[in-house]
Every structure is written in C-alpha cells, then in structure tokens.
Chains A and B, each alone.
Chain A
C-alpha cells in the first residue's frame, strides 16, 4: 500500500511539558489508521500537528511529498480535520453550514455543489432537519453533520478526533460503518479514540500511544496475537506494562 502520511520522530512540548516524545508511524492510501490511548496520551496533539493547527518542535511530517511544517497551506488542501467535541455555527441551518464550508474549501461553483450534494447524502439520516438551525440539533445530529462536513470535499486524508464520542449506540454504529465505507473512495482516515472496541471494529492498523510515546503498531489481529489478548483493551494494558517494565530494568 503506497504511503500517504509519514510521521518521523515528531516531538511537541507545551512549555516544559513534553506532550509527544518522538513518535513515528505511517498511514497508507485508503487505510484507516487509529491512535488509541487514554486521555492525555498525546492523541489530540498528534492529530493537531498533522492537521497544521500546531507546529512540531522536532521531526518531520510528510503528507504525500509535502512537508507539513514547511508548507502547511498546501497540506491543508489535502486534509480535513474534525476536532473532538467540534461545533458549528449555531445560527446557521445545517444546509447553510455545509454550503458555507464548501465555499471555503473548494475553488469553483461546480466543486461546491458536488461537495454539498455529497455531504447531504452522507448525513441523509438528518432528513428535513438539515434545513433547521443547528442550535436545535442533538449531539448525534451535530456529529453526523460535522462528519459530513469533514469528508464533503473527499480529501486525501480525513483526520477524525474521537468521531463517536458522546454518541449513543445506534448513532455510534452508524458513524463507524460510515467511516469504514470511506476507504472505498480511496480516502485515508486517521482517527483517535479511547474506545478500543470501536477501533478494533473500524481500523486497519492501530498505534498504541500513552504519555506521548507509541508503544506498539500493528493490525488489531496482530496486536491481539502478539500480546495474547482477547481485545485491544487487554493489548493496551499488557503493552504499556511490558514497555514500562523493560524501561525499569
């Protein structure tokens, strides 16, 4: 699988606090890659660095052949980012929000129309509520709208931070299925979650991250076999214990 994203020994500190301590991984074209770890592990910082919101202190991020640090504007043309707990302009209607974002993210009226049509089809379960003001939306409706916004331009890379956080079982499943279907269009997805069962279901490959360090990378199946675990939660606990144990020695 050709590489789309390459993270090379990337570091990030906030003042004296090291949030990411030199991580490396790759995401292939059409791959769903997940960062799993507890809160404060460095997942969001990593996603924000790739999405050009924050600058790296050291290392390199390559998106295709674009160095994200040197040419963030060019990188932004290839990616979209859905932050954790993201919001939308509450006084706009759902459809107007999609049109507004399409105007910002595309360069022609034709592209705009295509993007909006695709986004509307993605969040078709909203029904007529797409014409209602966003302030009337439930959390699940809002998340569906925002996911539609994130993929509307069919970017090379969709970065989704905790895409199902706060969603109920049915809405969560719907979103997970949708994410899984994105790779059919050739889109790569980089997502983060602390819901390991979700990651197990949706991801092609997984990186286990904690305290700014990546402990292991592999497919969910590979990791479960390697750590003789029933699920990714067990993998996470065993992996962290193993690495920390070897460090103490």
Chain B
C-alpha cells in the first residue's frame, strides 16, 4: 500500500508543477542565462592593454604590455615640469593609477579630448583629470601645502559613475601617498615639520565637467545629490508596477473565477467601457500609491539628510549643469512613469485575459516582475548606454527601462533617447491595448479555456492549442 504521505505529496507537486507554472521559470532561466552571458563581456570591456616602461633590478628599461582598468586611467597635465612632478607621473602606476597625457594643456579642452580618447586605436572614455600647478616642486621643497586641480566628468548617475567621479579623489590620495615617501626623505629628521604635511602635502580643488560645462564643485557631491533625489524613483516604479499589475490582472481573473464576467459581458453596454474602466481604476490606484509613497519618501529622506548639507552656491552650480527638478523635468518623468504603468497594466491585462485562476496569475506575473527588476538593477549599477549594442537593444526593449533612465537622460541632456523612449512606450501601450481590446471584443476571453482544455483519454498534463500539443 502506498504511503499516504506520498499520495498527498504527489498530488501537491502535480498541482504546483504545471505548464502554467513552468513557463515563467523557463523565461526566468532564459533571462538570467542572457544576463550571465552579458556580464562577463561587460567586465572584460572594462580593461585595456597599454604599453608601459618597466625597469628591472639591473636598471635596464624595457617596454611591456600591461592590462589596466579603464577606471584607473586619468588625464595628467603638468604645468610644473619639475623633478617632483615627474616623480609623481612615474610613480602613480605603482599606486594603481595610469596617467595619460592629453594633447591639449587646457583643462577644459583636455576633458573634451579625454571623453573620446584614442588609445592604440581603441576609443576609451577617461573621466578624470589632474592638473599639476606651476611651482609645485618649489612649494613642496619650501614646506608649503599645494593645491592640485582635479577634474571629474559625469556622464551618468549610476553606481559606476560614482566610482568614476571618485577616481580624481583617488588620484589625489595616490599623489599624497607617492609624495610622502619623497618628503619623508627630505624632511625626515626635521622636528619642526608637521607630520600631517608629510602625509598630505597636496589637496584638491575639485571641478566637475558635465554637459560640456565645468564648475568648481566636487563631482561626488553632485552625484550624491542626484542620487538622493532620484534613487526613490525606480523603487516607486517597481512597487507601482507590481501593485498595478496584480490589481488589473487580478480584477479580470476574479471576474472569471467568481463567474461575474459573463454577466458583465452580456450587459447592454460597450465592452470597451468595461476594459477602460478597469485600466483607469488601476492606473488611478497606482498614481495615488505613487503620490503617497513619494511624499512619505521625501519626508523620510529629508529627515535622513538632517538639513542643508550642501555648500552655498551649490544650487546655482546645479542649474548651470542643467540638473534642476523643475516642472518640465517632473512632467517629463511623470509622463514616462504613467506610460510605464500603462505598459505594465496592458501586459497584465493580457495575462489576466488568458489565464483562468489566481494560482496561474501569480506564476505568470513573475516574468513581469523580472522585466521590472532587471532594468532597475542595471540602471543602479551601470550606465545602460555603455552596454554592448545587442544588450542595450534588449534592455531598452523592456519598456520600463526608459522610465528608469529618464532622469539621467534629462540631466545629461540626452533628449533623443528621452523622446524615443516615450514614443516607444506609447507605441508599446497602443499595440498591447489594441490586442487587449480585440480579445475583449471577441469570444477569445471565453473560448481560450475550452481550446486549452485537456482532451479525454490523453496523457495527464497535456493540452493542445490548435494543432500544437503541449505536455
């Protein structure tokens, strides 16, 4: 006699593992397989091979090929042309910094040049520049602190930009580190010299290069500000999409399971009214949710910031860069957010129409949740525009991506992508809603279940759609 536990266990497994629940799993597997294959190519793209001079123990110099991270490369302008500035240039690689000398000695021109720097035939983007001032050698030998201009370029607002934004600071730290050894030899026995000076003889004058403009402000501060103001947007989008998708698909499925849909569809009224009422109600719910969440989040973020932590003139600097949260900016993002919600609703609506029960609904909504989460995480960690072409196309094919990148595109003035994104989302919504309306106006809503019904005498778990047999 079979163990009763296994009888129930088998039944439960059969209930859980069905074509409906396996399909999203396959989709998830394919998505992650794709991402898994994409990531290594991104990582390998982050390095570059350069020729470097190396001196061996016998003092002989030879040229060797070394692989360095693109983020470790910084522009290096030397106005001093002295022994110590040369010493800095030669020793920076020992601290993991690869200095590149641009053709132009004007910092702003150099930043433009470094944006598309040609290194051994490969175009790379160098986002930091340090400018060694005239008189560095003399000041250091006189025991004076020296300020070095550090330029950072911002082209996006992801986590990778934070790293790039901080690379000029890292370079200043490395210069201090390099000089400490030299200054220790110079002033080692002098008791009048402050040890702090030996450790940190140089400090930085921070400049940020954004949208072809340079302002005297720390890039990390700009990035932190933008991040603090926009980080909640993707979270809101994600939550709204999840909520709205559940609402609309659940609304259709509940009508089916509660057997109220047939009554509604035979009422003497336009079926479009039924569909639009459901979509609009879910959209309004999503908007209310978004507003409440935004207000709550703003209060929370405000309390975390503990008042104004930014220096005087910071707002004016942001305005110069074009980073302003004005009505136009918010309206554009609002439109994209609304379009994203409509995309989510349209997809969920179709899912709701095609499935028969709540259990299947949960399973079928998982791919939507992943489609929402993938661009969210990608936009957090990297600039989607820097992805390889195919990956970029695939990520931008997800309509939600355009809303995640809306603020970045506004702030870096990439209006083409912004407009394209909104148009793409609108077309996406229009197509899906047209399909949904057609299904709603046809008998597919009621006949799909019949067509997919198991045929008697066939193997358990199999069904057919037209001439196709599944299971």
A binding-site residues for B, Cβ under 8 Å: 14-17, 19, 48, 51-55, 73, 76-77, 79-83, 85-90, 101, 104-105, 149
Contacts and interface: CB of A to CB of B under 8 A. Distances in A.
7 contacts: A51-B262, A51-B266, A52-B265, A73-B268, A77-B268, A88-B258, A104-B268
A79 B268 CA distance: 9
Given A14-B450, A15-B464, A87-B258, A53 B266 contact: yes
Nearest to A146: B263
Given A15-B451, A53-B265, A86 B260 contact: yes
Contacts of B464: 15-16
Contact of A90 (B258, B268, B467): B258
B465 A54 contact: no
A90 B455 CA distance: 33
Interface stretch (B136-144, B210-218, B338-346, B440-448): B440-448
A87 B265 CA distance: 14
Nearest to A86: B259
Interface in B246-264: 258-260, 262-264
Q: Please give me the 3 A-B residue pairs with the lowest Cβ-Cβ distance, nearest first.
A: A54-B443, A14-B450, A87-B258
A83 B267 CA distance: 13
Contacts of A82: 263
A80 B266 contact: yes
A76 B273 CA distance: 15
A88 B267 contact: no
Given A83-B259, A88-B260, A105 B267 contact: yes
Interface string B424-450: 000000000000000000110011001
B interface secondary structure, majority = loop
B447 A14 contact: yes
Interface residues of B, number: 24
B269 interface: yes
Given A17-B450, A51-B262, A77-B268, 13 more contacts: A15-B451, A15-B465, A16-B464, A48-B262, A48-B446, A52-B265, A53-B443, A53-B446, A76-B269, A80-B266, A87-B258, A101-B267, A149-B263
Nearest to B453: A14
Nearest to B441: A72
Nearest to A77: B268
B266 A76 contact: yes
Given A14-B450, A104-B269, A83 B443 contact: no
B270 interface: yes
B266 A52 contact: yes
A14 to B, nearest CB: 4
Q: Which of A77, A82, A86, A149 has the most CB of B within 10 A?
A: A86
